[in-house]
Amino acid sequence: MTAGDGRFFACSGPHSLADVTAVAGGIAPDIALLLDGVASLASASANEVSFLDNRRYIGALMASKAGAVIVHPDLVAKVPAGMVAIVTTEPYLGWAKVAALFHPEPPGEPGIHPLALVDPLAVVSVTAEIGPFAVIGARAEIGPGCRIGIGTVVGQGVRMGADCRIDAHVTLSHAVLGNRVRVYPGARIGQDGFGFAQAPTGFVSIPQLGRVILEDDVEVGANTTIDRGSASDTVIGAGSRLDNLVQIGHNVQLGRCCVIVAQVGISGSTTLGDLVQVGGQAAFSGHLRIGNRVRIGGQAGVMSDLPDRAEVVGSPAMPAKAFFRQVATLKRLAERRNDRTPGAATSAADTKSG
């Protein structure tokens, strides 16, 4: 099946091989070829372009009927006869750009929908799009080119820069957004952090007086929650990507271009450096300092500070090499124990004779 069902995705094209090659940042033979769209190796036809970025799929490449393929120089020899190779050292990046060429983001429709509720004290750019049932609070500022989805609530005083896209049913409060911020459906940003003191009669909530700062080019996944700070701000650094169902506690600070995968939980006042990568379902205790370019495996339990470029897995998290050495040692010990268990040979013989 061709990618990009026209019922859901804007389509452009056909595009010439030369144009597709230029967008992909690659090189290709100078031949006349029109390409109608993008597709997977398995489903592509002679007028479509696909890509290969993983040697595991060489078989799919060799069986493909694609007219052109975006491919690394090391794999050009595997491209079947009759298929045009668009050669680039970064095929996946090239694919991303080519897919966007054929399926561009649809333009906004500036204006405020009649069913939206916009406070008279809000400032909304004339080039912004405010969808039906959206609510824009007093003194909120919606920058040029922004798009506010169906049923989204932008609380009083929230400020966003240019070209932000806030999808359906998001709530934003106590937040300042940079430019080109993308928030996917159902995200909750700026609510109270989890802070309370204990009194003889029970718990006393601590006022959460900070904000959430989403810097330029941040993306926040569906149903992710980001608590505002208690006294300082919660900050998501420029270019960072948060997957769906991530929980960010109050006063957390992420550096630039961090990648946080689904179901990660980061407790309050933990700081991550730049370019940190965190696997799914990892958890952090509070008040930690995580260095730059740290890589944390899925389901890791991070309970102590980590230096720059650390790579950890497991719970409690430990250096990846040490973790896998321990796993290998335990496996060997278990195998030796099984070999020495009295009656093991007899049991095996009984099983065989039976």
**Joined tokens for residue 216:** 């330029």
250 in active site:
yes
Rounded Cα–Cα distance for residues 147 and 128 (Å): 6
Sign for the pseudo-dihedral over CA of 35, 37, 38, 42: negative
Q: Which residues pair with 38 in a beta bridge?
A: 49
Tell me how crowded residue 76 is: count the other CB atoms within 10 A of its CB: 12
Q: CA 61 → CA 27, 31, 43, 58, distances in Å? A: 19, 21, 11, 5
Rounded Cα–Cα distance for residues 285 and 305 (Å): 10
Q: Which H or E run contains 335?
A: helix 320-340
Sign for the pseudo-dihedral over CA of 160, 166, 169, 175: negative
Residue 349: strand, helix, or coil: helix
15, 72, 169, 250: which is the annotated catalytic residue? Answer: 250
Which DSSP string do the residues of 3-54 spell out, in sequence order? SS-TTTS-----EEHHHHHHHHT-B------EE-EE--TTT--TTEEEEE--
Rounded Cα–Cα distance for residues 49 and 98 (Å): 9
Catalytic residue numbers?
Answer: 250
